[in-house]
Amino acid sequence: MIPFIARRLAQAAVVVLAIAILSFVMFRYVGDPVAAMSREDASVSEREELRTALGLDQPVVVQFWHFLGRLADGDFGVSYRTQRPVADMIAERLPATLELVLMATVLSLAVGIPLGVLTAVHRTGWMATFVQSVSLVGISVPTFVTGIMLILLFSVTLRWLPSFGRGETVDIGFWSTGFLTVSGWRALILPSLTLALYQMTLIMRLVRAEMIDILSTDYVRFAQARGLPAGFIHYRLALKNALMPVITITGMQIGGLIAFAVVTETVFQWPGLGLLFIQAVSFADVPVMAAYLLFVGLLFVALNAIVDIVYLIVDPRLRSGQS
């Protein structure tokens, strides 16, 4: 098991290095940093000065080494568009995205798990058929269309909920939260629902498939023969074993949710990381793009490695094949 973990971590390290190189190459070679950072009317000597100040006259390997050193210090460069440190901009936007992702995850688990159990237990009822057909249509509807339709219904037609922004936020230290105000909660409903929908169908299908397998095992049949109440069998005995893949998928999908938040945040003008990234892409603001890539890339590598290792620890059957 230890060799497997070591190999998995080594593999993760290689990917991290590759992401860092990609991020460096973007920062250094996409567009001209000197042209982007100096004034329009800067003289040749001023430009040369900036080139030296940025260390662009040194060998590439030295530049890359310095780049890594700056990253270790939390220095992600300065945005071309706002002239502010990228690290500050990310720190400022992070709470909005994390609160959105957290809410979407809670929502998808709270709705997806019971629906999965219900459709597995009543496999032929009208509700199972209905839920199955809705989830089939659901995978053909892109996130942004779902979001627009929700806005059209709840904001434009019914005027119940706001269609953009976070509402009022409260600052707790560096963290600005929308969980403490009524308008913050109201603003969170539509975006988190939009972000959660795909996840919800995924979890529902997963729980359904697992539950159908487990309901035909001996221990469940035995419990049924003993006359234990159905609710106890389904939710206490069977569900416990069905949740294992749900936990890992949920963990892995958190990275996916942060990536998909780009779309949801654009639809709802939610001031998070995704909106920051899209603005950076439209303005060709390379330092922000490179930093976002690095940040989300690291998150992905870490989540994938953790999930693989947790899997190995939780499920002993996987270990035999690894030696």
Partner 1 sequence: MIAAAAPPALWRAFFRSPKAMVSAAGALLLIGAAFLAPITAPHEPFTLGTFNLMDSELPPAFMAGGDPRFLLGTDMQGRDVFSAILYGMRISLTVGFLAVTISAAVGTLIGLVAGYRGGLLDAVLMRLADVILSFPTILIALLIAGIARAALPQAAAGEAAIAVLVFAIAINEWTQYARTVRGQTMVEARLDYVKAARVTGVADGTILRRHVLPNVVSPVIVIATINLALAILAEATLSFLGVGMPPTSPSLGTLIRIGNENLFSGVWWVVVFPAAALVLLVLCVNLFGDWLRDALNPRLN
Under the rule (CB under 8 A), what is the footprint of partner 1?
A: 11, 15, 18, 26, 30-31, 137, 139-145, 148-149, 151-152, 156, 163, 255-256, 259-260, 262-263, 266-267, 277-278, 280-282, 284, 286, 289, 293, 296-297, 300-301, 304
Nearer to partner 1, 31 or 85 (CB): 31
Q: How far is the CB of 189 from partner 1 (least distance, A)?
A: 18
Dist CA 124 CA 1 (whole Å): 43
Nearer to partner 1, 215 or 263 (CB): 263
Q: How far is the CB of 30 from partner 1 (least distance, A)?
A: 5
Nearer to partner 1, 215 or 296 (CB): 296
Q: How far is the CB of 172 from partner 1 (least distance, A)?
A: 30
Q: How far is the CB of 311 from partner 1 (least distance, A)?
A: 15
Instruction: List, in sequence order, every beta strand (DSSP E) within the chain.
Output: 170-172, 175-177
Write out the two tokens for 134: 């809705």
Q: Give the three-class secondary structure for 78.
A: strand
Nearer to partner 1, 200 or 254 (CB): 254
Taking the CB of residue 207, how many other CB atoms lie within 10 A of it? Answer: 25
Q: How far is the CB of 265 from partner 1 (least distance, A)?
A: 10
CA angle 66, 71, 72 (to 5 degrees): 95
* Whole-Å CA distances, 135 to 153, 190, 194, 204, 229: 20, 19, 14, 9, 30
Using alpha carbons, select from 36, 31, 24, 17 the residue that is nearest to residue 60.
24
Nearer to partner 1, 220 or 295 (CB): 295
Three-state SS annotation for 132-169: HHHHHHHCCCCHHHHHHHHHHHHHHHCCCCCCCCCCCC
* Whole-Å CA distances, 42 to 46, 80, 83, 292, 312: 6, 16, 17, 29, 58
Q: How far is the CB of 171 from partner 1 (least distance, A)?
A: 30
Taking the CB of residue 271, how many other CB atoms lie within 10 A of it? Answer: 19
Q: Residue 274: phi, psi to the nearest 5?
A: -65, -45
Nearer to partner 1, 105 or 163 (CB): 163
Q: How far is the CB of 199 from partner 1 (least distance, A)?
A: 13
Residue 103 CA to chain centroid, in angstroms?
12
C-alpha R_g of the chain: 24
Task: List own/partner pairs for 221-227 with CB under 8 A and 24 or more apart.
Answer: none
Q: How far is the CB of 52 from partner 1 (least distance, A)?
A: 23
